[in-house]
DNA sequence: TCTGGGGTCCTAGGACCC
DNA sequence: TCTGGGGTCCTAGGACCC
C-alpha cells in the first residue's frame, strides 16, 4: 500500500460536538459551562471540562463539580444534521474521506498539493469553512500516518491546528504519555505504569518481545509499531459498519420476564427498522447483558440466512433471553441490548410491516411496560427508544 | 467514578471439514 | 485405529473508542 512520505493525512475532530451545537443554537449558552444529557454526561463544553466534567460521568457528580452548569437534553436530530453538513465540506475538500464517528474523520489530501496547495493550507481552510458555514469549532491534526494525525489533533484540541512534519515525528511523539496511544486504555495504561513506563518513548525503547509478553501478541505488536510511528493503514472510503445494535439501561429496580421481553421486542424492532432503512441484513443476533454488579455478558446465535425481518431476529433474541433468565434472576439485570452482526450488503426488499394490525403481543408488551413506567408516553418512549416522531412499531406475531 | 448508547478489533476454544 | 496439519465458522469475553 502506498504511504506518502509527506504529511498528507488530516484527522478532523469537532470539539465537544454536542455541546458546541447547543452553544451555536442558543446564544445564552455561549461562554458558559454546558452539559448535554441528564442522568449521564453525553458531552461537556470546554467551560465544563475545565471544571473536571467528563463525558460518561454520572450527572450528579457532574453537577457537584460544576453547579452552575446548564444541563440540556440531547437533540440527536440537530447533531446528525450538523454532522452531515460538516461531512459535506469534508467531501468537498477531498473525495478520500473516512468517517470514524459522528464527529471525526480522516481526510487524505496527498493528491491535492499541486491543484490546491499544501496540507497545512488545506487544513486551515477546512477549519475556517466549517466555522463560517456550520458555526462549529473543529481541530485538525496533520501527519504522515493516520495514527499520528489523530494524536496531533488530540494534542491540538480545542479549536486548534497542528502539523507534524515527517522530520519531527519521533520528537513530537516520544515525550507524550502512553495514554495518547490509540488503543491504550485504563487496563493497558495500568500494566505499563506498573513497569514504570509512562511515555511513548519508553514504550518504543522496550522492544517488541517484552511488549508482547506484557500485553499479548496483538496489543504488543500494535503498540510497538505505533510507538515507532509505523502505521501503514490507508484512508479508506466507504467503510460500512459490521453490526447494528440498540440497548437500554434498566437501573436497579427489578424487572419481570414480561418487562424484559417487551423491552427486548422494542430493541429488536428499532434495530431491524434501522437495518431496513440502510438496506442491510444480518445473520448473528447478539444479546448483551449487564448484571447488578455491572459485569457484562453476551450471548449470540447465528442464523442460516441473513435477514432484516423482525420475526426471525426477534425469535432468536427471545430464545437467548429465555435461556439467560435464570442467571438474570440470580444476578439482577441493569442493561439489556441487542445487536445484529455479520451484516452483509445485499439490498433488502421486505413488505412494510406497518400494514398489519397491532397484534395481541404488542398490547401485552405495552401493558407490561406501562405497568412499570406508568404513563403511555413513557411507555412509547421505552418501546421506541428515543427516536421522536416515529410511529408505534407493530411487532410480528 | 456507582455508570449511556453506539460501535471496533482481538483472542481463544471447540466443532467441523479436508 | 489412537492419530497430522490447516482452515473456517461459531461463540464468548475483553479492551478500547467516541
Q: In the predicted model, what is the mean pLDDT of residues A206-234?
A: 90
d(CA A372, CA A161) in angstroms, rounded, equals: 50
Q: Do residues A289 and A336 lie in contact, with contact meaning Cβ atoms separated by under 8 Å?
A: yes
Joined together, the cell numbers standing for residue A247 give 440497548
Q: Is the pTM of this model over 0.75?
A: yes
Q: Which amino acid residue lies closest to nucleotide B5, measuring CA to C1'?
A: A247
d(CA A62, CA A170) in angstroms, rounded, equals: 37
Coil vs helix vs strand at A286: strand
Which residues fall within 8 angstroms of residue A397, CB to CB, at 6 or more apart?
Answer: A311, A359, A361
pLDDT on residue A207: 87
Position A396 pLDDT exceeds 50: no
Sheet holding A9-14, edge to edge: A97-101, A104-108, A9-14, A138-143, A161-163
Q: Which amino acid residue lies closest to nucleotide C9, measuring CA to C1'?
A: A302
Task: Identify whether A129 is a catalytic site residue.
Answer: no
Domains recognised in chain A with CATH numbers: 1-166 (3.30.70.270), 174-227 (1.10.150.20), 244-383 (3.30.1490.100)
Burial class (CB within 10 angstroms; exposed 0-12, middle 13-18, buried 19+) of A361: middle
Q: In the predicted model, what is the mean pLDDT of residues A372-386?
A: 37
Q: Which member of A22, A47, A98, A104 is catalytic?
A: A104
d(CA A110, CA A26) in angstroms, rounded, equals: 38
pLDDT on residue A4: 58
pLDDT on residue A332: 92
Which residues fall within 8 angstroms of residue A185, CB to CB, at 6 or more apart?
Answer: none
Residues in chain A: 397
d(CA A49, CA A170) in angstroms, rounded, equals: 29
Nearest nt (C1') to A179 (CA)?
A: C16
Nearest nt (C1') to A187 (CA)?
A: C15
Of A46-50, A110-114, A156-160, A184-188, least confident by mean pLDDT is: A110-114
- Å between A81 CA and C5 C1'? 54
- Å between A245 CA and B6 C1'? 7
- Å between A295 CA and B1 C1'? 16
Q: What is the pLDDT of residues A164-186, one digit of tens each?
A: 999 999 999 999 999 999 899 99
Q: Which amino acid residue lies closest to nucleotide C13, measuring CA to C1'?
A: A297
Q: Is A277 within 7 A of strand C by CB distance?
A: no
Amino acid at each position: 500500500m502506498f504511504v506518502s512520505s509527506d504529511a498528507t493525512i488530516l484527522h478532523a475532530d469537532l470539539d465537544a460536538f454536542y455541546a458546541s451545537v447547543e452553544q451555536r443554537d442558543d446564544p445564552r449558552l455561549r461562554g458558559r459551562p454546558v452539559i448535554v444529557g441528564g442522568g449521564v454526561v453525553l458531552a461537556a463544553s470546554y467551560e465544563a471540562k475545565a471544571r473536571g466534567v467528563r463525558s460518561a460521568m454520572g450527572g450528579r457528580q457532574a453537577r457537584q463539580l460544576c453547579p452552575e452548569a446548564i444541563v440540556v437534553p440531547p437533540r440527536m436530530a440537530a447533531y446528525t444534521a450538523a454532522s452531515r453538513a460538516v461531512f459535506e465540506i469534508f467531501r468537498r475538500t477531498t473525495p478520500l474521506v473516512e468517517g470514524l464517528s459522528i464527529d471525526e474523520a480522516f481526510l487524505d489530501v496527498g493528491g491535492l498539493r499541486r491543484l490546491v496547495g499544501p496540507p497545512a493550507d488545506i487544513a486551515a481552510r477546512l477549519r475556517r469553512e466549517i466555522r463560517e458555514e456550520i458555526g462549529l469549532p473543529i481541530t485538525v491534526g496533520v501527519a504522515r500516518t493516520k495514527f499520528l494525525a489523530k494524536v496531533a489533533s488530540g494534542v491540538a484540541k480545542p479549536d486548534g491546528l497542528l502539523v507534524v512534519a515527517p522530520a519531527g515525528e519521533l520528537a513530537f511523539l516520544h515525550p507524550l504519555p502512553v495514554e495518547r496511544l490509540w488503543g491504550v486504555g485504563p487496563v493497558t495504561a495500568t500494566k505499563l505504569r506498573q513497569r514504570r513506563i509512562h511515555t511513548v518513548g519508553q514504550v518504543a525503547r522496550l522492544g517488541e518481545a517484552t511488549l508482547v509478553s506484557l500485553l499479548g501478541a496483538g496489543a504488543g505488536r500494535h503498540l510497538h509499531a505505533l510507538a515507532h510511528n509505523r502505521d501503514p493503514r490507508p484512508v479508506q472510503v466507504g467503510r460500512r459498519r459490521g453490526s447494528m445494535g440498540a440497548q437500554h439501561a434498566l437501573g436497579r429496580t427489578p424487572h419481570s420476564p414480561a418487562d424484559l421481553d417487551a423491552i427486548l421486542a422494542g430493541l429488536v424492532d428499532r434495530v431491524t427498522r434501522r437495518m431496513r432503512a440502510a438496506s442491510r441484513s444480518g445473520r448473528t443476533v447478539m444479546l448483551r447483558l449487564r448484571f447488578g454488579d455491572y459485569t457484562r455478558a453476551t450471548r449470540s446465535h447465528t442464523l442460516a440466512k441473513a435477514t432484516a425481518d423482525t420475526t426471525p431476529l426477534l425469535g432468536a433474541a427471545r430464545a437467548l433471553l429465555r435461556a439467560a433468565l435464570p442467571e438474570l434472576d440470580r444476578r439482577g439485570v441493569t442493561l439489556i441490548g441487542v445487536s445484529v452482526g455479520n451484516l452483509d450488503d445485499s439490498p433488502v426488499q421486505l413488505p412494510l410491516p406497518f400494514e398489519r394490525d397491532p397484534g395481541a403481543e404488542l398490547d401485552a408488551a405495552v401493558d407490561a411496560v406501562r405497568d412499570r413506567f406508568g404513563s403511555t408516553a413513557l411507555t412509547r418512549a421505552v418501546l421506541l427508544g428515543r427516536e421522536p416522531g416515529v410511529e408505534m412499531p407493530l411487532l410480528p406475531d
